[in-house]
Amino acid sequence: MGLCFAVQQWEDRRFSVECITAEVQDLYRLDARQAKRIQEINYDFYDRVSKASFHYLLNEEACEKEIERLTLEKNEAVMSVVKHRMSHRTVGTEVGLQ
């Protein structure tokens, strides 16, 4: 049963990252290199959340704080890629940021 659960978790992680990457790539019209970077950021985030969840297994408050910190860090990294993309757009093109 443990192996089946681990495989399911791995597939859920992969599916989530692929969906998030596709949405962000489409929304901000990222090129393949930028989308790959977003994907790497999200895989790293999921791995770090899994480690934090295990590390703080008996301390829910500490776990929540660590996951919140990791989420902020991930969001900053993603926005850095998006902002870099936006800063390199040519003048006069429509930007999807609001």
Domain boundaries, the chain: 10-79
The amino acid present at 84, given as its one-letter code, is: H
Hey, what long-range contacts does 31-34 have (CB within 8 A, 24 or more apart)? Answer: 31/85, 34/81, 34/84, 34/85
What's the pLDDT at 26? 92
pLDDT category at 98 given cuts 50, 70, 90 is very low
What's the pLDDT at 73? 97
How far from 37 is each of 1, 10, 17, 32, 33, CA to CA, in Å? 34, 20, 12, 9, 6
The pLDDT tens digits of the residues spanning 23-73 come to 989 998 999 999 999 999 999 999 999 899 889 989 999 999 999 999 999
The pLDDT tens digits of the residues spanning 68-97 come to 999 999 999 999 999 887 776 644 455 554
What's the pLDDT at 2? 57
Q: Residue 19 and residue 39: Cα distance in Å, rounded?
A: 10
